Amino acid sequence: MAPPRREVKRSGSIVPCFLFVELGILGGTAALAYQLEFTDAFPVHEGGFFCRDPQYGRPYPGPPSSSRAPPALVYTLVTSVPVLTIVLGELLGQLRGGRGGRDPPIVWGECCYLRAPLRRLLRFLGVFSFGLLATAIFANAGQVVTGTPAPHFLTVCRPNYSALGCAPPTPNDPPHFVPPGGTPCAGDPPLVTAARRAFPCKEAALGAYAGVYAGLYVTLAWRGGGSRLAKPAAVLGFAAPPFLLGALRVAEHRHRWGDVLAGLAAGGGRRRLPDPLWTLQ
């Protein structure tokens, strides 16, 4: 008896939709994230401050590249760790049980097959990439709109207190408030602008998003078997680094705990894997 012929779906729109719609949306999101991060297309809000405010007078910790967790390392890890986790999980799933085998391949035109495992992998990676860029946009937009000073703001601002009318502090007189506008800072303008982008902590937001997405993938998409502690240990391994990264940002006087917690909440909010998940297994 001949084996049953496997069902094949034909679609003339799946590849054009992927190329011109989904990649277009992803490219536009990446362009917006780049504009918010690396250009001055969206000027940072410049608010006022109190003279000699101790919460903004911490020592300058140096450029971001001198941090124990520089941005290049953070961006590399939040991108590569979930991607490698997903790719490894899909490969192991195919080797163990043919994950996605119930979904028939899709034929585009007369030559090209888009098989279920590849569709599943692209679906996971596409959703992750879009969410990571959206998290970066949200964090950068919050920094631009609020213009919240970093703990070392006054150190890099170097205001001329005499010219601003800031009298020496006394126990009976409240601190003088410097209103927004003018040029109250004599420090390096790029450093001053960067010191106004503290809320929310973008590194914490990106780390939380990557950790939550990878944790959800391990919890919901990896098949059971072996030790019962494997999944909880993996999820804990993804959840701990964002919190430690936020603590490091606070210890280096680059952010306050409120900035870090807001970043963790923004990046670690409710995330969804591609639906319906059970059709992908």
What does the pLDDT read at residue 230? 78
Using alpha carbons, select from 123, 142, 145 the residue that is nearest to residue 272. Answer: 123
Domain contains 30: no
- Number of domains the chain is built from: 1
Domain contains 13: no
- Cα 169 to Cα 43, 122, 155, distances in angstroms: 32, 60, 18
Domain contains 21: no
Distance from chain centroid for Cα 73: 13
Structural domain of 241? 45-271
What does the pLDDT read at residue 1? 43
Distance CA 121, CA 87 (A): 7
Domain contains 226: yes
Domain contains 20: no
Distance CA 246, CA 202 (A): 10
Domain contains 33: no
Is 100:281 a contact under the CB 8 Å cutoff? yes
Domain contains 229: yes
Per-residue pLDDT 10s for the chain (281 aa) are: 444 445 555 444 555 565 566 778 888 889 999 999 888 889 999 988 888 888 999 999 999 999 999 999 999 999 999 999 999 988 887 777 655 545 555 555 555 555 667 778 888 898 899 999 999 999 999 999 999 999 999 999 999 888 888 877 676 677 788 888 877 888 899 999 999 999 999 999 999 999 999 998 988 877 655 567 778 888 889 989 999 999 999 999 999 999 999 999 999 875 556 654 433 44
What does the pLDDT read at residue 109? 53
Domain contains 91: yes
Distance CA 149, CA 225 (A): 49
What does the pLDDT read at residue 2? 44
- Cα 98 to Cα 65, 83, 105, 219, 276, distances in angstroms: 44, 20, 13, 19, 18
